[in-house]
Each structure stands twice: as structure tokens, then as C-alpha cells.
Amino acid sequence: MRYIRSSSVTLENITKKSTIAAEFTSVAASYPFRVSPSYAKLIRREGDAIWKQCIPDLRELDDAGQCPDPLAEHLLSPVPGLIHRYPDRVVLLVSNRCPVYCRFCMRKRHVGEGDAPMDAQTLKQAMDYIAANPAIRDIILSGGDPLMLDDDSLHHILQQLRAIPHVTIIRIGTRVPVTLPERVTPELCTLLKRFHPLYINTHFNHPDEITPLSARACDLLADAGIPLGNQTVLLRGVNDSLDTMRSLQTGLLSLRVRPYYIHQMDLVRGTAHFRTPIATGLEIIRGLRGHVSGMAVPQYVIDLPDGKGKVPILPDDVERQGDLLILRTYQGEMVRYRDLTTVADS
């Protein structure tokens, strides 16, 4: 398994004019830094929406109260590199590298650490597990970013999955159309279309990420017959306003990308300064419904701690006891979820 060759802008080059540039390196020592040149070019000024998503922040080190793995992915990994949370689908962590190491990453604990793709033995263990469990029909390639693998490595993985009779759906979770759009080539799309039904969920968080380059990447994928969805993370000071979210979700439809989820920020250590009150997400959904096409209204979801799974919530169906929400899982279990937010300035 091999990665593509890709460059990264140095932290010093981006932050040299910042008044706190020297302090960024201490954060990067704990949580790795990486930004592609194409994404760095989207930064218009210090502290803007793009900057906040990719530049280290001292507040990452202040947030020690949360868990590195609140979704208990390590407990849901029967073999290394595979997460089996729901009965019929698994997540395969084929890459540990991304074009950009997002500061709000749900896998902040290990993305960029070691910086190596899944090796042959680990991949074999994962494939053997999938083959031995016929209830598994849906595979999500994740990481890191799967599209950081070169075409031959992707072909090898997809070919092995398609050789398992009960695997009917393959999904790829990737932020590459946003962070490294030049990676999406006609050759890559020709490869991917050989393995239909194949779906891609990408990850736009702000209208400034909709550019001619990201639009071209989405066009190439859509023209290859690949259905495209988008998962947005609700981020304080980035996209936590109705106007921003409306512009983003309607803009995605113009790229042939269907809004799928808005995620409440996971309770991941080092990310508390991004977290919004749940009321903010509910107000955004309320403001979208009826005011934009139904196709532009994603589900607002909370991924519950301890591997309980995603729960969609609507403005009218939340049972609350103070700062506790009582949410029902897909298995009917009632789970208490505390609405934790930061009071720090953005």
C-alpha cells in the first residue's frame, strides 16, 4: 500500500505574520499539522473560516477534560483497522494521512501519527473478518483519507472487497475534493466507476470551500456515475450561522452533491472550542426547513458516546432535562447526552 506524492505548506510559511506564530508549534507537537497548498490558498486572513479549520490553536491543549476516543472505536474493532458498530456495515481505516489535518478531527488522537497506510497483513485480517461475517454488506473506506492512497492501492482494496459476495455497497469518506481537488483525475474516476455501486461522502464545511477546483473534482466524480453526499461538522465561529449554512447547503446542490449530515461536534479531546450548543444546530435546521429545497436540508445528528451510534434530531423532538438530552438509539435504548459547550471566545 502506497500513498500518492503530495506536498504540504509549512506552518512557518502560513503563520509567520501572526502575533502568536511561535505558539502554534507547541500545539503541532501534540496534534500534527498538515495543510495542502491548494487549501492554504483559500485562507483570506488570519482567523477566517479556513484558517480556523487548519491552523493549530492553543485552546486545543486546554481541553483535557474530554476523551480522545469518545465513540469507543477501539472497543468496536474486532481486528486492527476495522470498526464494526452497526450490524450490516463496517468502517475500514485504510489510510492515516490526509491532505489537511483538520483541527476538529474526530480521530485527532491518531491521524498523522505514524503516517503509514494499512499494511498487507492488517488488510488481510480485515478482509478475512468481512468475508466471515455475511451480515456485512456495506463497507465505508475511511482513515485518514482513503484517496491519499495511490490508484494501484485503491484498486487492490476495491478488488478484494468486490470479491466478497455479500458486500453490495462500498462507500468512500473523503475530504479530498475540498482539500486536494487536483487528486481527483479522470484516471481515478475511471478506476472508481469499475466498482459500482460505489458512493462518496465528502466534507465541505464552509461556502469558501466551493471553488472552481472543488467544483471540477465533484463534476468528474458525478460524471463517473458516483452519487455524492456531504457531511458537514457544525463548528463554532466557522459555520454556526443560518446564512452561512444556507449558502453552503444550497451551493452543494449546484455541485451535484446532496447534503447528508450536519454533525454535532463529537466530544473529542482538543476540540471543545469548536463546540456549539445543540440549540444552535436545531435553530439552523428550523431555519432551513421550508426556506430552501428539501434536498438542501441535511439531517442534524449526534454521534453518541461509547459507540451507541448516530441519532438524528429535529427542532421539535428533543426531550431535555436541564443540560441533559434524552435520546433514543437505533436499537431503542434511551441514552442521556450532556450538552457540553465552551464559553471561550471564538
Is 105 annotated in a binding site? The answer is yes
Whether residue 303 lies in the annotated active site: yes
> What is the structure's pLDDT at 316?
67
Catalytic residue among 54, 63, 101, 102: 102
The answer to whether residue 345 scores a pLDDT higher than 80 is no
User: How many other C-beta atoms can be found within 10 angstroms of the C-beta atom of residue 88?
Assistant: 13
State yes or no: is 67 an active-site residue. no
Strand 258-263 vs strand 299-304: parallel, antiparallel, or unpaired? parallel
pLDDT digits (tens, 9 = 90+) for 111-149: 877 767 889 999 999 999 999 999 999 999 998 999 999
Q: Please tell me the pTM assigned to this model.
A: 0.91
pLDDT tens figures, 19-59 = 677 778 889 889 999 999 999 999 999 999 999 999 999 99
CA distance 231 to 206: 11
Q: Is 54 annotated as a binding residue?
A: no
* pLDDT score, position 318: 67
pLDDT in tens, 188-223: 999 999 999 999 999 999 999 999 999 999 999 999
Domain ranges within the chain, ordered by starting residue:
11-338
Examine the residue annotation and report whether 3 is marked as an active-site residue of this protein.
no
Check if 98 is active-site. Answer: yes
Angle of helix 242-254 relative to helix 278-288, nearest 10 degrees?
50
pLDDT computed for residue 346 by the predictor: 44
**From the candidate CATH numbers 3.90.1150.10, 3.40.1390.20, 3.20.20.70, 1.10.10.10, the one assigned to the domain spanning 11-338:** 3.20.20.70
5 an active-site residue? no
Using an 8 Å Cβ cutoff, are 312 and 300 in contact? Answer: yes
**Neighbour count for residue 140 (Cβ, 10 Å):** 18
User: Does residue 34 carry a catalytic annotation?
Assistant: no
pLDDT digits (tens, 9 = 90+) for 72-101: 889 999 999 999 999 999 999 999 999 999
> What is the enclosing helix (H) or strand (E) of 170?
strand 169-173
- Per-residue pLDDT reduced to its tens digit, 265-317: 999 999 999 999 999 999 999 999 888 999 999 999 999 988 889 999 887 66
pLDDT for the residue 319: 74
Tell me: is residue 67 an annotated ligand-binding position: no
